């Protein structure tokens, strides 16, 4: 992908923890932009919004999801995000219900000061997402920015180490994660959500910065757990985890180049160079998930 000239040494990241409301696309968009502007006033230049931030999450039907979805990048949400990014000189990663023809995707867009950059489509669908959305078909794209190379994942993708590893192997330094984390079965009330642990582990194992923007609230009986966080490339939180139930913005000033420079753990060990492909080989994520997704979809359709 085309470069952007001289890299900027450090960048302030913001993760927006907000509560979208199902069906209120214009209201969700306005609330998100108000929070983007607030983060920009604090100096943030890369801003992450939650998963499906335009539409809400718990759809009653595929028809409802289709009616709330938008084209990318020509829909109203993308166009308004583009306008604010251009006006304030921002990079924005935002979760969106995407409509392409008659197909729906749980997607995230990356937008910069010069406009639309690209999109990611969620590879691993959670629960009844399998009814409404098609599996992502764009792989794990990595985008060049003036700050470094940025990839995107969405929520349940974080349970699959391959997503972060593919991003790291393509030179990603930061992964932005729009998410709608929900409580896991048997989750102890005294512990952080499993997603926090998985994020920290992925950041450490791949020497990646990871910025997760979760939502809060209860939607049609579904609780969301909040706890947005930003990790450094060693896996430790540098912002958050945020609260469980409050809308808030978390910030971290990071240097993306550290993700590559700190990948060597000692004289002998470097995380990506130490991989043993001669033992465990490689495979395609889409091929690895297609059978399970089809079984789930058929089960829900019965």
Tell me the C-alpha to C-alpha distance, in Å, between residue 241 and each of 13, 113, 245: 14, 28, 12
| DSSP one-letter code for 157 | G
pLDDT-derived band of residue 188, with 50, 70 and 90 as boundaries? confident
Better pLDDT: 174 or 187: 174
Burial class (CB in 10 A: 0-12, 13-18, 19+), 242: buried
Q: Assess whether 212 carries a catalytic annotation.
A: no
Candidate from 55-64, 184-193, 283-292 with smallest mean pLDDT: 283-292
**Alpha-helical segments (H) within 90-160:** 129-132
Q: Assess whether 7 carries a catalytic annotation.
A: no
| DSSP one-letter code for 272 | T
pLDDT, tens only, 276-293: 888 887 644 444 444 444
- Spell out the domains of the chain, with CATH numbers in brackets: 11-301 (3.60.110.10)
Q: Assess whether 155 carries a catalytic annotation.
A: yes
The active-site residue, picked from 78, 155, 176, 212, is 155
As a dihedral over the C-alpha atoms of residue 51, residue 56, residue 60, residue 63, rounded to 10 degrees, the angle is: -80
pLDDT value, residue 6 = 59
**CB-CB neighbours of 256 under 10 Å:** 25
The active-site residue, picked from 122, 129, 176, 233, is 122
* Contact call for residues 34 and 259 (beta carbons, < 8 A): no
Alpha carbons within 13 A on the beta-carbon side of 102:
0
pLDDT, tens only, 220-276: 999 999 999 999 999 999 999 999 999 999 999 999 999 988 888 899 999 888 888
- Report the C-alpha gap between 284 and 4 in whole angstroms: 30
Candidate from 1-10, 66-75, 247-256 with smallest mean pLDDT: 1-10
Secondary structure (3-state) at 117: strand
pLDDT, tens only, 149-169: 999 999 999 999 999 999 999
The active-site residue, picked from 19, 51, 70, 129, is 51
Model pTM greater than 0.85?
yes
Candidate from 39-43, 179-183, 234-238, 274-278 with smallest mean pLDDT: 274-278
Distance from chain centroid for Cα 282: 24
- Report the C-alpha gap between 267 and 104 in whole angstroms: 48
Better pLDDT: 288 or 81: 81
Query: Is the pLDDT score of 30 beyond 90?
Result: yes
In whole numbers, what is the pLDDT of the chain averaged over residues? 91
Output the six-digit token pair for 176. 């932005």
């Amino acid at each position: 992908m085309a470069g952007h000239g001289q890299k900027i040494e450090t960048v302030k990241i913001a993760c927006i923890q907000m509560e979208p409301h199902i069906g209120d696309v214009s209201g969700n968009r306005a609330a998100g932009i108000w929070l983007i502007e607030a983060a920009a006033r604090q100096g943030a230049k890369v801003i992450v919004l939650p998963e499906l931030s335009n539409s809400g999450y718990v759809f009653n039907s595929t028809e409802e999801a289709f009616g709330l979805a938008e084209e990318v990048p020509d829909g109203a949400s993308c166009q308004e995000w583009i306008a604010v990014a251009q006006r304030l000189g921002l990079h924005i990663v935002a979760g969106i219900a995407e409509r392409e023809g008659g197909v729906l995707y749980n997607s995230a867009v990356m937008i910069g000061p010069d406009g639309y950059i690209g999109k990611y489509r969620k590879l691993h669908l959670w629960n009844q997402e399998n009814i409404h959305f098609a599996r992502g078909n764009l792989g794990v794209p990595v985008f060049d920015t003036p700050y470094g190379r940025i990839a995107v994942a969405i929520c349940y993708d974080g349970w699959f180490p391959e997503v972060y590893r593919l991003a790291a192997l393509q030179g990603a330094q930061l992964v932005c994660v729009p998410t709608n984390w929900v409580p896991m079965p048997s989750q102890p009330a005294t512990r952080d959500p499993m997603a926090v642990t998985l994020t920290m582990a992925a950041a450490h194992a791949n020497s990646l910065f990871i910025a997760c923007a979760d939502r809060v609230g209860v939607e049609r009986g579904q609780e969301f757990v909040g706890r947005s966080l930003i990790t450094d490339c060693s896996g430790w939180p540098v912002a958050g985890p945020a609260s469980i139930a409050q809308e808030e913005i978390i910030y971290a000033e990071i240097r993306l180049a550290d993700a590559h420079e700190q990948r060597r753990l000692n004289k002998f060990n470097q995380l990506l160079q130490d991989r043993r492909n001669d033992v465990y080989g490689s495979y395609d994520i889409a091929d690895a998930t297609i059978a399970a997704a089809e079984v789930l979809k058929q089960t829900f359709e019965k």
